[in-house]
Each structure stands twice: as C-alpha cells, then as structure tokens.
Amino acid sequence: MIKYNQQKMKNIFIVLGMFLGIAVFAASCGDSKKAKPTETKEENKKNMEAGNVKEVYFAGGCFWGTEHLFQQVRGVVGTEVGYANGKTKNPTYEEVVSHTTGFTEAVKVKYDADEVDLKLLIELYFKSIDPTTLNRQGNDVGDNYRSGIYFTDKNTEAIVKAEVEKLAKNYSKPVVVEVETLKNFYRAEDFHQDYLNANPGGYCHIEPGLFEEAKNANPPKAKK
C-alpha cells in the first residue's frame, strides 16, 4: 500500500505539473525577458563543439532531481532524461513504472572533460543517493528507481569503477550501485525534460542544499 501511494503521489505531481507548465508557458510567451532558451542552447552547442565532450549516464531515483543536480555543475554542457538498460524498445513512462520492462530512470550527462572532472560528478551523484539501498531512493521505490552509472567507452568505465570502489569504502553496508556498460537508452517524454526548471516546486527526492553545493563545486579556474 505504501509503494502504491508513493507512486500515486508522483503521478499526481505529474498531472499538476502539466497544468502548471501550461500556465507558465502561456505567461512566458508574453515576456521574452523571463527566459532565453535559445541563447542557452547556443552556448551549450558552442561548448560542445569547442570542448572535449564526454558522456556518462546516472540513475539515482526519480530522474527529475538527478537531471537538475547535474545542470548546476559548470562544465556540464547537456542533459537528457530517459530510460536505460531495459529489455523492450521505445518504452513509455507508464510501461517503465509498471516494473515489467527492466528499465531504470536515468540521466544522460554530457560534460566537457577539460572543464570538469568525471570524479567530481560521481562524488556529487553519491551525495544525492543512498548507494546502499536497492531499488529505492527516498519515496521512489521499484526496480525502475535502482541506482546505476552506465558508460559507453573503456576510459569512462575505468574511471567509474575506480571511483565507485573508492567511495564504497566510506559505507559500512555494501554499495549496490550498478556499474555497467550502457545497453540501451531511450529519451523520455518531453514533459519530463528539464522538469524542475519548468516546475520549481515539483517533486524531488534530493535535498535542496545539494543543488547549491553543485553550483559551487566546480568554480572557474583562475586565469594565469
């Protein structure tokens, strides 16, 4: 019953968020000063073209909060929420939360390796979860909320495995974070993308103070 009520609560947030999103969109259309998404995208595009861009995938409970966390970090040039390492094709949110697809909610993180260290991203990720809890983060329960870090190249694999092994020594219980090659990843519905930017009061399992910590975790390098 608890698990049902928790999922029901999140679904209520989704419905409320849809109505709020429509209202915010309508209000913002009349005032171009409130948001400049095109400029942000262009800036990220320039960073991706000029930098040493790598990618890694993090699963840590509800992907709304995890995406918002990494969006705060200087050097992260792009994020996208979706469903990782499942056994079907093109899953919907409803199918994923039914616990029949094997997918976990995950965030694709693109970062400029010349601007931010992958080890820092992993450290922030560990602070956002309980790495000793299987198939649960906060109020989010089920295999679709299992924790994991997924990679697509050998160099990233080596860094992730070494860092997770090091951080695991800080816990008295076994760390159950999956560390695996990315098998598949499907982009989630548009409604889920940049959710907490569009809905600042939306559901999130991550302590708000960590977002501020992430903002300050990678300050600009001093000019010589």
What does the block give as tokens for 14? 């989704």
| Choice among 56, 62, 96, 124 that is catalytic | 62
Give the strand order in the sheet containing 148-151. Answer: 178-181, 148-151, 53-59, 104-112, 76-84, 185-187
Residue 169: its H or E element: none
DSSP structural state of residue 192: G
CB-side neighbour CA atoms (13 Å) of 47: 20
Active site residue 29: no
- Token duo for residue 196: 């907490």
Q: Which residues are catalytic?
A: 62
